[in-house]
Amino acid sequence: MMAVADLLAELRTDANTRIAGLLGPLVFFDKHLEGRLEVKFGEEVARMIGSLRKLFKLRSMVGPSATQNTIESLRWADQIETLRKMLLAMSTDIRVVMIRLCSRLQTLRHFTHHPDIKAEKGDIWGYALSHARETLDLYAPLANRLGLWQLKWELEDLSFRILEPKTYKSVAKMLDEKRTEREAFITDSMATIKSSLAKVGISCEISGRPKHIYSIWNKM
């Protein structure tokens, strides 16, 4: 829970969003949580917690664990697009979606550090595969639509690492071998752009980073 709050802090969200992110998982254990939280933390936090409860519940209705009767009339692509729209429509406060994205990212981080994931065995391996596939289909595109690039690239890379571990390691190794050249190219490019803009009177800050592993593999 603290990790989700830390991610939200990195995104420079306000205090109420961080509080809701910290307390969000408690909705699984307390059906009447919102009422008590409103007394202690205010209406805004309680409202976000209530929306989070709906989002968590929505996954079991439409996600990979849904029953065949629920999805038989929808192709998977249509189902995912419908769910994206439902997520945004249900969350009148966009901060709730940000909390959900951070929660999913932390779950993937946990999976990739679990010993059973590396051994590709156990129940948690099955859960990890399901979550990774759903993340690529739903949560990463959602982060992209919201402009949350720092969440998008890590959601994609961790999902790819789980779904295609051998390919992930292969691409990562090739990138690591050429890291120095790539970083030098980016540094030179940034300097060139900044100099060109300065000549026409534009003062700015330039930033750059290497493309992430999933993006490179996807283009290959």
Token pair in block for residue 136: 């690529």
What pLDDT was estimated at residue 70? Answer: 46
In order, the DSSP letters of 98-127 are HHHHHHHHHHHHHHHTSHHHHHT-SHHHHH
| pLDDT tens digit sequence for 137-182 | 889 988 998 889 889 999 999 999 999 999 998 888 887 767 777 7
* Helix (H) or strand (E) run with residue 82 in it: helix 76-90
What pLDDT was estimated at residue 75? Answer: 61
CB atoms within 10 A of CB 19: 20
What pLDDT was estimated at residue 82? Answer: 67
What pLDDT was estimated at residue 62? Answer: 47
Q: What angle (nearest 5°) sits at the alpha carbon of residue 139, between those of residues 29 and 108?
A: 65
What pLDDT was estimated at residue 121? Answer: 72
Token pair in block for residue 185: 């190219």
Task: State the Cα–Cα distance between residues 140 and 144, nearest whole angstrom.
Answer: 6
| Positions in the chain whose pLDDT score sits under 70 | 1, 58-80, 82, 86, 89-91, 118, 177
Token pair in block for residue 82: 């419908």
What pLDDT was estimated at residue 161? Answer: 93
What pLDDT was estimated at residue 138? Answer: 87
| Whole-prediction pTM | 0.78
Greatest C-alpha distance within the chain: 63
